[in-house]
Amino acid sequence: MLGAHSNSTLRGDYARARPDYTVDQDMAAYSDTDRRVWRQLMRRQCAIVRGAACDAFVRGIDLLQAPPEIPELARVSDFIAARTGWRLVAVPGFIPDAVFFAHLAARRFPVSVWVRRPDEIDYLVEPDLFHDFFGHVPMLLHPVFADYLAAYGAKGAQAEALGALPRLARLYWYMVEFGLIDTPAGLRAYGAGMLSSKAETLYSLDSPQPHRIWFDLARVMRTDYMIDSFQKTYFVLPDFEHLYAVMHDDFAPLYRRLADTPDIDPATRAPGDRVYAPHASPRHAADL
């Protein structure tokens, strides 16, 4: 989950971070409260994902064995690296964009080492260990999504050089943090930001309120977002191959074309939007 990290004080201990912002995960540093919060979150979120998350996400959680205790990132890294080449690197929290992109391009996923407080069980601004591990790591085990995220990271340097980081960040926000995917069984969630929150997962799938629009790269890059409320617009993938396919294009011409087109308010629809129409029977409470 991405917060307004530019001006809020960051939670983590950055004093011990290396130049690439990685730190060592000290398993002995977790308190009994941390361990209790982890167990509570893992139990609650696992109860939600079946029937709400796409098969790829559920398979990822199953492969990770939905660790009931705080996981040792180095050990999980070996398991993931053997499947998709991705490794996990421990970080104190938010890290500068350029460093973040460089890690993704090298198939290193930054995972915050600290665990949220009990009073933050339902919402927190910065990504903690649970958000990063439960929300993001399962999809690193999906070969196509894993390739997409590495290709996404590789776009960071050019975006920074062209002053287009905010546009590239929108692609992460909408298609990594809050992505939806259409399946034969109906609409399913795969985004880390929604799947680490029961309320937003249900809202993203069932509420009549938000706009749900078929994925379109330029439309995503034009769409603003708020960090502290449920999304007003979600984008829907037909499959992960569509998301990976757009990464082969050079984004520079797109950034130039978008430079003089206005942003789109997520509360509104735009001309040309291809609206997603639900096609399967609505999910039932029993599915959850």
Binding residues for ligand HBI (CB under 6 A) = 2, 91, 93-95, 97, 100, 110, 127, 169, 172
Q: How many CB atoms lie within 10 A of CB 74?
A: 14
Residue 192 binds to Fe ion (criterion: CB under 5 A): yes
Residue 171 binds to Fe ion (criterion: CB under 5 A): no
CB 276 within 8 A of CB 213: yes
Residue whose Cβ sits closest to ligand HBI: 169
Cβ-count burial 245-268 (b if 16+ within 10 Å, e if not)? ebbeeebeebbeebeeeeebebee
Residue 104 binds to Fe ion (criterion: CB under 5 A): no
Residue 45 or 283: the one with the smaller Cβ distance to Fe ion is 45
Residue 1 binds to Fe ion (criterion: CB under 5 A): yes
Residue 88 binds to Fe ion (criterion: CB under 5 A): no
Instruction: Report the partner that residue 243 touches, choosing among ligand HBI, Fe ion, none (CB closer than 5 to 8 A by kind).
Output: none
Longest dimension (CA), the chain: 55
- 61 phi-psi bin (left φ>0, alpha ψ -120 to 50, beta other): alpha
State the minimum distance, in angstroms, from the CB of residue 287 to ligand HBI. Answer: 29
Residue 84 or 196: the one with the smaller Cβ distance to Fe ion is 196
Q: Two tokens at 142?
A: 């999906």
Instruction: Report the partner that residue 48 touches, choosing among ligand HBI, Fe ion, none (CB closer than 5 to 8 A by kind).
Output: none
DSSP 8-state class, residue 227: S
Interface ranges with Fe ion (CB under 5 A): 1, 127, 192
